[in-house]
Amino acid sequence: MQQKSPGKLQQFFHFPEGDGLATDEFIKGLWRENPVLVQVLGMCPTLAVTNSATNAIAMGLATLFVLVMSNVLVSSLRKVIPKQVRIATYILIIATFVTVADYVIQAISLEVHKALGAFIALIVVNCIILGRAEAFASKNTVWKSLMDGLGMGIGFTFALLLLGTVREILGNGTLFGFPFFPDSFQEWVIMILPGGGFFTLAFWLLFFNGMKARKKDNHTEVHPEKESVEEVYV
Amino acid sequence: MEKKIELLLSSSPFLKQQEDTPAVMRQVIYSLLPAAAGALWFFGISALLIMLTAMLFALLTEGVYNKLTGRANTLRDGSALLTGLLLAMTLPPGIPLWMVALGTFFAIAIGKLIFGGLGSNIFNPALVGRAFLQASFPVTLTTWVAPGNGLSFMQWRSAAFTLPFVREKVAAVSTATPLSMMKFEGQLTPFKALFLGNSAGSLGETSALLLLLGGIYMAARHYINWRIPTALFATVIVTASALHWLNPETYAPFWFHLFSGGLMLGALFMATDPVTSPVTHRGCWLFGAGIGLLVVVIRTFGGLPEGVMYAILLMNGVSPLLNRIAQPPIYGDPAKFKKNEAHNE
């Protein structure tokens, strides 16, 4: 009995044994398959709540929490969930953790909760989370799913922070609520309006695609296999 | 020696127009000159500075972009110069020059070059720049100064040389445009002031007469499709008259709508932009009518006193659809032929 259980546990979690597989699952979400900047998923929170850096961080962390927890739970239940009702089950699992995140944010800061408004509840239908559950967690071990969730969540938070920083600095002259420019700075009101969200996202996408294109030109022969990106349709 | 017969083979079109894009653009700029001169008369040297800044930065943006992306030099086609001048005409005379530069950069880079340059843009570049400025700096863009005359030409507007990204000092003397006076105070500006241009407003929207001169010239030389402004004016006249007839107390008469604000400038120089308007004649009728209707609706029922810019941008967005629904009938259409045959039997 004592000999068997660690083996089973080992099989269930599939701890990496120096091959760095799970590390790769973590790293891919940060950059190579970044959910916002490469996969262009989760546009609703990306555009709607990034009018200040604080909101962006709060939204990113809430999504990170829900993503990691739902990935772990979906992955550990992947053999139990019947195929026909899997989407409904995923939504149920995600909604549970969203409710937890909702109450936690409310407890920590009522101000942030008010600023994010309906978008906390809308994490339920964030296609990154459902996409990772369907495309990754339901097919992989718990350990890998955990790393995948962490990587994607941090990548999402990073992208949101990029947008939120630019929009808050230009639109309000502040960063995290502290003055960034002297008092006489003329705010660009459009940057905290919805239009500014689209412009900023477009600029960042342009920037990262430009960098990727430049990298590709330099390393076309070196890593041809790294270009395969999982296709997710949600 | 036998004389060789040369056989020239070429594909259509066989009738070629002598005028190319730069020539047309030059002519449009010339047609805008009376209105630009009017702006100089009314707003003095600050108007000149705004126009020069806008044109300079338009050329600069396009030139640098072409250099960076390794494209052919497109400065000589004159479209950047025209966009800069048109944008300047839509701006209030007291605007800081760094905002003019920023708006021009946005108009050329985001409004035109990102889409692939001249001929590929969806929205009128000058209006994209103006909409960006309006949304970014709503207070500055709605602060107007009263028009002067040629005698006060050298009078500086203090705000013009505000440092970049610094909020301007409180504007010297601000007045209301005829449209905002009508909307918020119910006060009608007399016809003569509107028509000749002795009223507050953007550089190029004060004098309807000077704009009309340029517009008639362009229409006569077929640089613009006359159907667009005609449909636009007709719709404005019909809609505004109907409203005025219902309640003359609250709704302005049609001539007020026609000659106030940016309607003349928009109808003659911006709605008629061949890139962003429909290509079929029926499409042009619909396009102009749509703008006219939207202008009256926004001015009368909207929150803003002026709506020409948004009306044109909205109709720019639907002009591909107008092209689709306004296809001219094809001569010898087999489907029609069959229908007629069945009808005859």
In the predicted structure, residue A233 carries a pLDDT above the cut 50: no
User: Which residue shows structure tokens 């990154």?
Assistant: A128
A193 and chain B in contact, CB less than 8 A? yes
Reported as a pLDDT band with limits 50, 70 and 90, residue B148 is confident
Evaluate the omega torsion of the peptide bond into residue B13 and state whether it is cis, within 30 degrees of 0.
yes
Which distant-in-sequence residues (6+ apart) come within 8 Å of B285 by Cβ? Answer: B227, B231, B326
A191 and chain B in contact, CB less than 8 A? yes
Measured CA to CA, the distance from residue B263 to residue B281 in angstroms comes to 21
Measured CA to CA, the distance from residue B191 to residue B198 in angstroms comes to 10
Reported as a pLDDT band with limits 50, 70 and 90, residue A11 is low
Measured CA to CA, the distance from residue A183 to residue A174 in angstroms comes to 10
Which carries the bigger pLDDT value, residue A107 or residue B337?
Answer: A107
Measured CA to CA, the distance from residue A84 to residue B134 in angstroms comes to 52
Q: Do B167 and A186 touch (CB under 8 A)?
A: yes
The reply to whether A224 falls in a domain is no
The reply to whether A13 falls in a domain is no
Q: Do B136 and A191 touch (CB under 8 A)?
A: yes
Give the model confidence (pLDDT) of A23-52 as tens digits: 888 888 888 888 999 888 989 889 988 989
What would the mean pLDDT of A68-93 be, rounded to a whole number? 94
Reported as a pLDDT band with limits 50, 70 and 90, residue A160 is very high
Give the model confidence (pLDDT) of B282-296 as tens digits: 999 999 999 999 999
Measured CA to CA, the distance from residue A126 to residue A97 in angstroms comes to 13
Reported as a pLDDT band with limits 50, 70 and 90, residue A6 is low
Say how many C-beta atoms besides its own lie within 10 A of residue B236's C-beta.
24
Q: What is the pLDDT of residue A177?
A: 84
In the predicted structure, residue B30 carries a pLDDT above the cut 90: yes
**What residue segments make up the domains of chain B, in order of their start?**
21-325
A180 and chain B in contact, CB less than 8 A? no
Q: Do B136 and A199 touch (CB under 8 A)?
A: no
Residue type for B161, please? F
Which carries the bigger pLDDT value, residue B27 or residue B2?
Answer: B27
In the predicted structure, residue B343 carries a pLDDT above the cut 70: no
Residue B144 β-bridge partners: B175
What token pair was written down for B153? 């030409």
- How remote is the C-alpha of B83 from its chain's centroid? 9
Reduced to 3 states, what is the DSSP secondary structure of residue B166?
strand
- How remote is the C-alpha of B24 from its chain's centroid? 16
Give the model confidence (pLDDT) of B221-248 as tens digits: 888 999 999 999 999 999 999 999 998 8
What would the mean pLDDT of A85-105 be, rounded to a whole number? 94
Partner residue opposite A186 with nearest CB, options B110, B135, B137: B137
CATH code given to domain B21-325: 1.10.3430
Reported as a pLDDT band with limits 50, 70 and 90, residue B41 is confident
Fill in the DSSP letter of residue B118.
T
Give the model confidence (pLDDT) of B156-199 as tens digits: 665 667 777 777 665 556 677 888 777 777 777 787 778 877 77
Q: What is the pLDDT of residue B54?
A: 95
The reply to whether A220 falls in a domain is no
Partner residue opposite A189 with nearest CB, options B110, B137, B166: B137
Contact B74, B100 (CB under 8 A): no
What token pair was written down for B288? 């102009």
Q: Considering only alpha carbons, which residue of chain A is nearest residue B138? A: A189
Which carries the bigger pLDDT value, residue B332 or residue A72?
Answer: A72
The reply to whether A170 falls in a domain is yes
The reply to whether A219 falls in a domain is no
Say how many C-beta atoms besides its own lie within 10 A of residue A73's C-beta.
20
Dihedral sign of CA atoms A5, A7, A12, A18 in order: positive
The reply to whether A54 falls in a domain is yes
Q: What is the pLDDT of residue B126?
A: 95
Q: Considering only alpha carbons, which residue of chain A is nearest residue B102? A: A188
φ and ψ of A88, to 5 deg: -60, -40
- HEC readout, chain A: CCCHHHHHHHHHHCCCCCCCHHHHHHHHHHCCCCCCCCCCCCHHHHHHCCCCHHHHHHHHHHHHHHHHHHHHHHHHCCCCCCHHHHHHHHHHHHHHHHHHHHHHHHHHCHHHHHHHHHHCHHHHHCHHHHHHHHHHHCCCCHHHHHHHHHHHHHHHHHHHHHHHHHHHHHHHCEECCEECCCCCECCCHHHHCHHHHHHHHHHHHHHHHHHHHHHHHHHCCCCHHHHCCCCCCC
Which distant-in-sequence residues (6+ apart) come within 8 Å of B202 by Cβ? Answer: B89, B90, B91, B92, B93, B262, B265
Give the domain extent around A194: 20-207
Residue B175 β-bridge partners: B144
Reported as a pLDDT band with limits 50, 70 and 90, residue B151 is low
The reply to whether A232 falls in a domain is no
Q: How many domains does chain A have?
A: 1
**Percentage of residues of chain A with pLDDT beyond 90:** 50
What would the mean pLDDT of A177-193 be, rounded to a whole number? 86
Q: What is the pLDDT of residue B109?
A: 92
Q: What is the pLDDT of residue B154?
A: 66
> Distance (Å) from the C-alpha of residue A169 to the closest C-alpha of chain B?
12
Fill in the DSSP letter of residue B115.
G
In the predicted structure, residue A226 carries a pLDDT above the cut 50: no
**Percentage of residues of chain B with pLDDT beyond 90:** 44
Give the model confidence (pLDDT) of B196-226 as tens digits: 777 788 888 878 889 999 999 999 988 899 9
Q: What is the pLDDT of residue A21?
A: 66
Q: What is the pLDDT of residue B155?
A: 65
Partner residue opposite A184 with nearest CB, options B137, B138, B166: B166
What would the mean pLDDT of B111-123 be, rounded to a whole number? 90
Cβ within 8 Å of A, B 154-173: 165-168
- How remote is the C-alpha of A50 from its chain's centroid? 14
Q: What is the pLDDT of residue B265?
A: 92
ipTM: 0.77
> Distance (Å) from the C-alpha of residue A58 to the closest C-alpha of chain B?
26
Chain A residues close to B136, C-beta within 8 Å: 188-191
Chain B residues close to A193, C-beta within 8 Å: 135
In the predicted structure, residue B340 carries a pLDDT above the cut 70: no
Mean pLDDT of all residues belonging to chain B: 85
Give the model confidence (pLDDT) of A191-212 as tens digits: 988 889 999 999 999 999 888 8
Q: What is the pLDDT of residue A219?
A: 66
Give the model confidence (pLDDT) of B307-321 as tens digits: 899 999 999 999 999
Q: What is the pLDDT of residue A73?
A: 95
Q: Do A186 and B132 touch (CB under 8 A)?
A: no
* Of A220, A99, A117, A201, nearest in space to A160 by CA: A201
Q: How far is CA B215 from CA A11, A48, B124, B197, in A?
A: 79, 43, 18, 16
What token pair was written down for A131? 């996409």
Reported as a pLDDT band with limits 50, 70 and 90, residue B150 is low
The reply to whether A142 falls in a domain is yes
Reported as a pLDDT band with limits 50, 70 and 90, residue B55 is very high
Query: Chain A interface, mutation test: which of B167, B169, B170, B313, most A Cβ atoms within 10 Å?
Result: B167
In the predicted structure, residue A221 carries a pLDDT above the cut 80: no
Chain A residues close to B166, C-beta within 8 Å: 184-186
The beta-carbon contacts of A95-101 under 8 Å, at least 24 apart in sequence, are: A95/A124, A97/A65, A97/A66, A97/A69, A97/A70, A98/A66, A98/A123, A98/A124, A100/A65, A100/A69, A101/A62, A101/A65, A101/A66
